């Protein structure tokens, strides 16, 4: 099989992806005469001059490595490679850990603030890119995701032949996941005897802007169990078990209890974008991950090495 080549531009002030992203052109041509026209339409936040420069410098090409020009005609269903770039990529000054690796999977422990895969202003500073550099393996795929703000365990596939088996674990609900969170307590939560527990089942859908979600009326698609296990000085440590995997599910379910997770910049109020405050990570941690390996039959149970800083600060004495 042919693979998109890697590109390295030493000395550049722009952060450029070391590995190409791939896109398959639509099967139906909606009036695009050239690949350039398609790219400008498909990526409206990247101006035409930027695409022209990328094409001229070899950062856009067909999957087989054949270069394109600004005049290359649009070809339905053909695979295209391009290299993501950002003007100034943030550097996340926290280490990740590889907890387990065999010929099929890696289980990695992700720090707060580090994205799992490239996106937005992050190109090379993500957990996936770090693991590729650590292992020298290019064919690594995240089987599931965590928010950039969330720390904890992420499972990656190393083997294309067994990859579907691990995807199936998550789609069938055969993975047991438990999170920890820290939040300020309501008056009721401060008064009740421990442990306090809640079963939450509701519907979550995309909201506005599109990167946030909301609880809405309708058929249930998001289910979680939440337990308040410890409390101190008006703050609680919660154990959260998601039974579904909607984006921001646990953050919204904690909000629905009147106890949004500490340092959440999306809920209950979307805060303006600002410089990263490394001293205030979202107090949400993917703490444990357990499953029966679909290839070996081995029962795996992994525990994150990370701790939630707000709770550690309250209990350090």
Q: Is residue 265 part of a domain?
A: yes
Q: Is residue 274 part of a domain?
A: yes
Instruction: Compute the mean pLDDT over every residue in the chain, rounded to the nearest whole number.
Output: 91
Residue 210 confidence (pLDDT): 85
Q: How confident is the model at residue 6 (pLDDT cuts 50, 70, 90)?
A: very low
| 67-to-7, 160, 281, 282 alpha-carbon distances in Å | 13, 27, 43, 43
225-235 confidence digits (pLDDT tens): 999 999 999 99
- Pick the last residue of a domain from 58, 86, 114: 86
Q: Return the pLDDT at 46.
A: 80
Q: For residue 10, what pLDDT is reported?
A: 38
- The model's confidence at residue 114, banded by pLDDT at 50, 70 and 90, is very high
Q: Return the axis-axis angle of helices 48-56 and 35-42, rounded to nearest 10°.
A: 130
The answer for 58, left when phi > 0, alpha when psi is -120 to 50, beta otherwise, is left
Domain count for the chain: 2
4 found inside a domain: no
The residue among 38, 62, 86 that closes a domain is 86
- Residue 240 to residues 177, 197, 254, 270, 286, Cα–Cα distance (Å): 9, 10, 9, 23, 9
Q: Do 48 and 111 lie in a common domain? A: no
Residue 229 counted as domain residue:
yes
The C-alpha torsion from 302 through 305 and 311 to 314, rounded to 10°, is: 140
Confidence of residue 11 (pLDDT cuts 50, 70, 90): very low
Q: Is the confidence at residue 239, as pLDDT, over 90? A: yes
On whether both 121 and 246 belong to a single domain, the answer is: yes
Clarify whether residues 161 and 26 are in a common domain.
Answer: no
- Residue with the bigger pLDDT between 314 and 8: it is 314
Question: Is 241 in the same domain as 132?
Answer: yes
Position 82 scores a pLDDT of: 85
My answer on whether 128 and 231 are in the same domain is yes
Confidence of residue 80 (pLDDT cuts 50, 70, 90): very high
CATH number where 45 lies: 3.10.290.10
For the cut 60, the answer to whether the pLDDT of residue 14 exceeds it is no
Radius of gyration of the chain (CA): 22
Using DSSP bridges, classify how beta strands 151-157 and 284-292 pair: parallel, antiparallel or unpaired. Answer: parallel
Q: Stretch 210-217: mean pLDDT, rounded? A: 94
* 221 and 77 in a common domain: no
pLDDT reading at 250 higher than 90: yes
Same domain, 81 and 215: no
Query: Strands 299-303 and 284-292, how do they pair?
Result: antiparallel
pLDDT in tens, 32-77: 999 999 999 988 878 899 899 889 988 899 999 899 999 999 999 9
pLDDT of residue 251: 98
16-34: b or e for each residue (b if 16 or more CB lie within 10 Å)?
Answer: bbbbbeebebeeeeeebeb
State whether 259 and 117 are in the same domain. yes
**Does 157 lie in the same domain as 33?**
no
Instruction: For residues 55 and 204, state if they share a domain.
Output: no
- Do residue 77 and residue 226 come from a single domain? no
Residue 9's pLDDT is what? 37
68: containing domain: 15-86
Within its chain, how far is the Cα of 130 from the centroid?
14
Q: Is the pLDDT of residue 28 over 60?
A: yes
Among residues of the chain, what percentage have pLDDT more than 70? 92
Question: Is residue 131 situated within a structural domain?
Answer: yes
Count of beta carbons in the 10 Å neighbourhood of residue 10: 4
Is residue 234 domain-shared with residue 105, that is, in the same domain? yes
| Per-residue model confidence (pLDDT) at position 273 | 84
The model carries a pTM of 0.78
CA trace torsion 163, 169, 175, 181 (10° rounding): 60
């Amino acid at each position: 099989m042919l693979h998109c080549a890697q590109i390295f531009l030493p000395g550049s002030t722009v952060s450029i992806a070391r590995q190409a992203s791939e896109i398959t052109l639509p099967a139906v041509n909606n009036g695009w005469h050239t690949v350039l026209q398609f790219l400008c339409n498909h990526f409206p936040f990247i101006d035409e001059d930027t695409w022209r420069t990328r094409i001229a410098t070899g950062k856009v090409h067909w999957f087989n490595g054949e270069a394109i020009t600004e005049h290359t005609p649009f070809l339905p269903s053909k695979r295209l490679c391009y290299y993501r770039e950002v003007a100034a990529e943030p550097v996340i000054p926290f280490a990740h850990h590889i907890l387990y690796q065999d010929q099929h999977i890696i289980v990695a422990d992700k720090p707060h603030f580090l994205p799992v895969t490239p996106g937005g202003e992050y190109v090379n500073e993500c957990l996936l890119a770090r693991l590729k550099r650590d292992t020298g393996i290019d064919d690594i795929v995240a089987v599931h995701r965590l928010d950039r703000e969330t720390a904890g365990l992420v499972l990656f596939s190393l083997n294309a032949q067994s990859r579907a088996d691990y995807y199936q674990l998550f789609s069938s609900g055969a993975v047991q996941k438990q999170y920890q969170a820290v939040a300020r307590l309501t008056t009721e939560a401060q008064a009740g005897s421990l442990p306090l527990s809640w079963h939450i089942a509701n519907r979550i859908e995309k909201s506005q802007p599109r990167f946030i979600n909301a609880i809405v009326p309708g058929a249930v698609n998001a289910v979680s169990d939440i337990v308040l296990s410890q409390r101190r000085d008006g703050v609680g440590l919660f154990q959260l078990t998601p039974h579904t995997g909607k984006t921001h599910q646990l953050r919204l379910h904690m909000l629905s209890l009147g106890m949004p997770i500490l340092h959440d910049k999306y809920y209950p109020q979307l805060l303006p974008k600002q410089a990263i405050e490394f001293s205030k990570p979202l107090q949400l941690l993917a703490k444990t991950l357990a499953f029966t390996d679909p290839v070996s039959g081995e029962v795996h149970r992994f525990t994150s090495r990370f701790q939630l800083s707000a709770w550690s600060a309250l209990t350090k004495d």
